[in-house]
Every structure is written in structure tokens, then in C-alpha cells.
Amino acid sequence: MVGDVLKSELPFFDLCVANLPYQISSPFVFKLLLHRPFFRCAVLMFQREFAMRLVAKPGDKLYCRLSINTQLLARVDHLMKVGKNNFRPPPKVESSVVRIEPKNPPPPINFQEWDGLVRIAFIRKNKTLSAAFKSNAVQLLLEKNYRIHCSLHNIEIPENFSIAEKIEKILTDLEFTEKRARSMDIDDFIRLLHGFNVEGIHFS
């Protein structure tokens, strides 16, 4: 492909092999993963730390929103390290090659809503979920979304309604108040998203 890959329409392809500018690593990965029809496999070279974030597991130091979002949509494997001395002139960073295979079919989840939840949880991944959802900005957003949901479904909201109390009850019922994003896996977040959605709280 010739041109700006982030702005270009991707053609049908089965395999993707690329060593791309490291500053576009994240948007390129998600452009690939949200591309349809599905491709079979991508083999890509990234800055080492970015690559290790892609494959990080719950509890790992580098585990983050990037890790869980990528692993929701694909199987990701670290293939090999590439030292900076393999390049001329040598860059300042080490590199790694990873293989990405999209999950086909993908999980039946609205990715924008999923990402909205994960974004809140990973703002401070070492905080408990109870603390993360006490943010005024988060509560204002979720209350706005809840009121829209109720309006669309003709649900009456009590005068003494408290979004903070509703959120806390959801977390308590799921036994997630003391959970921290750093140690939560995909199944945990699916349960959490479902628990909020059942109560009419959405993230997009």
C-alpha cells in the first residue's frame, strides 16, 4: 500500500506483514481488528514495550486497556525480539514481532460500549472499581446515559434517584467493589458490562 494507511480504505486481504512507524501502532492495530471482511493473520513489528502491552495478561505490570481490548478481538502472540543493532542506523528502542489473528466470529459485544467501560476502569488501574466509579465526571456521564435510556424506554425515574447508589449496588451485587482493573480478565469485564446494561446503564 502506498500512502497514509490510517486514512486509506483497506482492500480485501488475507495476510498483513508490516514494519510501520511506531507512532501509529495503536490506531493501526484497531483499524485492522475492526476491518471487514476478516483477514487471516497479521505479522507486525512494534516497539518492544508496545508489543509486550499487546500480550500482557491480568496481573502483569504492562497489562492495560490496550491489552484487554486487543485480546477481546484477537489472539496475539509474541514471536521474536528484534534488537536495535539489527538496524542501520540503530534506533533508540528495542523492537518485537507479534502475530495477530482476529477472532472470527468476534464476541457479540458492542465494542464502543465495551471500550467506554474499560476506559473508566483503567484510568487508574490500581484503584478499586468502587473508587473508579466515584469520579464526578464518570457519574455525570453514566447518569446522562441512564436518563436517555429511561426516556427511550418510557421508564420513570424516582425523584430521589442517585446514580452513585445505583452504581454501588451493581458492583456489590456482582461482588466487584474491591476488584481492580489490573487483575480483571475479559470474562470479568463481560460480566461487569452485562451487569450495568441489565440495569439500563450504558457507556456509549
Architecture of the domain delimited by 15-102 = 3-Layer(aba) Sandwich (3.40)
The answer on pLDDT for 161 being more than 80 is: yes
pLDDT tier for residue 7 given thresholds of 50, 70 and 90: very high
Which residues are CB-neighbours of 152 under 8 A, at least 6 positions away? none
Cell of 98: 507479534
User: What mean pLDDT is predicted for residues 174-181?
Assistant: 98
For the cut 80, the answer to whether the pLDDT of residue 1 exceeds it is: no
Q: Kindly tell me if the per-residue pLDDT of 2 is higher than 90.
A: no
Among 191, 192, 193, 189, which residue's Cα sits nearest to residue 204?
Answer: 193
pLDDT at 3 > cutoff 90: no
Peptide bond into 91 cis (omega under 30): no
Q: Rounded to two decimals, what is the model's pTM?
A: 0.92
pLDDT of residue 91: 87
Instruction: Express each pLDDT in 65-88 by its tens digit.
Output: 999 999 999 999 999 999 999 988
Residue ranges, comma separated, of all CATH 1.10.8.480 domains in the chain are 111-198
Of 3.40.50.1100, 3.40.140.10, 1.10.8.480, 3.40.50.720, the CATH number of 111-198 is: 1.10.8.480
**1 labeled part of a ligand binding site:** yes
Domain(s) labelled CATH 3.40.50.150 in the chain stretch across 15-102
Question: pLDDT tens digit string along 115-145?
Answer: 999 999 999 999 999 999 999 999 999 999 9
d(C-alpha 117, C-alpha 106), whole Å: 18
Is 19 annotated in a binding site? The answer is yes
